[in-house]
Amino acid sequence: MSVDWDEVTKAIFPTRTYEELTQRLVKSLSFGFVREAYNFSLPVLATYTRQMLGSDPKGRYEKYADWLVHTLERLAQAGMVDLLDLVTKLEKREQLEWFSSQSGVEAPDIAGLLKYLVYWVIPMEKYLSGLVKDDPVILEACQALRTAGVRTNLEMLEKGRSPAGRKALAEASGLPEDRILPLVYRADFSRLPWASKATISNIIGAGYGSMAKLANADLQQLTADFYRYGESIGKNLKIANEIESSFRNANLLPVVVQV
C-alpha cells in the first residue's frame, strides 16, 4: 500500500509536515511526567476519547470520536499496544509507510489520529510567560525561573509538580515557594485542550486557582462565578462554552501536580 503524502498533509493540517507533527509528540513524551501520566493503552485511550469528545453537550464531536475509536481499534488489532508504542513506531515517514503497508490501516487515518493526540490529548510545550496575561508580578517570576532552567509549561511541571521539586526551584531561582506554586498551577491548566492564556486567566480570575479546585467545583456555582468575573472585566464570557468544557476536562485529565 503506497502512501499518498498529499492526503497525509491534508490530514494533519494546520501542521505543515508529518515530521513536525511527530516531533511535537516526541518532545512532549521526553518528559517523565508525560510518559507516566499519558501512556494509555489503546483501549484506555479509546475510552478517554469517548469521554473527552463524546461529552460535548452540543454533540459536535460524535462522528469524530467514532472515527478515532475505530482507528484505534484497527491499530490495536495490528499490534500497537499503547500511546508510547504508537509514537515510537510511527515517528518517521518510512515507519509510517511500512506499518501502513503491513497493517492495511491507511496512512492518512494514522496521521489524523496522531494529530488528535497533539491537539486534544498530549500536553504540548509552551513558553511559561505565554500563559500569563497582563500580570507583571508573575511575568517577573517567569524571568527568575529562566535562571533555574525553566522556560516552558512542561519544564515547570517536570520540575515543580512535587513539593520537593518546588522547594528546589525556590532555592535555584531565589523565589519564595508561594510564588512558584501559582505558576505550577498555571502550567497545569495549559494541559486543558485548546486552553489559551485568556481562558486560563479567566478561570483563575473567577477564583479557581488550581486544576483540583476546578475539577471539584459545583458546576452551577463555577459557571456563575465565571460569568460574574467576565462582567467585572467587561467581557461576555457566555458566548462560548469554555467553562463547561474546562470543567469536564479537568475531571478527565490525569492528575499531575502533587500538593
Of 61, 39, 35, residue with least CA distance to 49 = 61
Integer Cα distance of 229 and 237 in angstroms: 9
Of 244, 239, 238, 237, residue with least CA distance to 222 = 244
- The predicted-structure confidence for 140-155, as pLDDT tens digits, reads as follows 999 999 989 999 999 9
Provide the residue ranges of all domains of the chain, joining segments of one domain with +.
5-121, 128-250
- The predicted-structure confidence for 8-49, as pLDDT tens digits, reads as follows 999 999 999 999 999 999 999 999 999 999 999 999 999 999
CB 47 within 8 A of CB 172: no
Q: How is residue 153 written as a grid cell?
A: 509549561
Cα 249–Cα 142–Cα 145 angle in degrees, nearest 5: 110
Global pTM reads: 0.94
Could you tell me which residues come within 8 angstroms of residue 28 by beta carbon, excluding any fewer than 6 positions away?
A: 34, 122, 123, 124, 125, 154
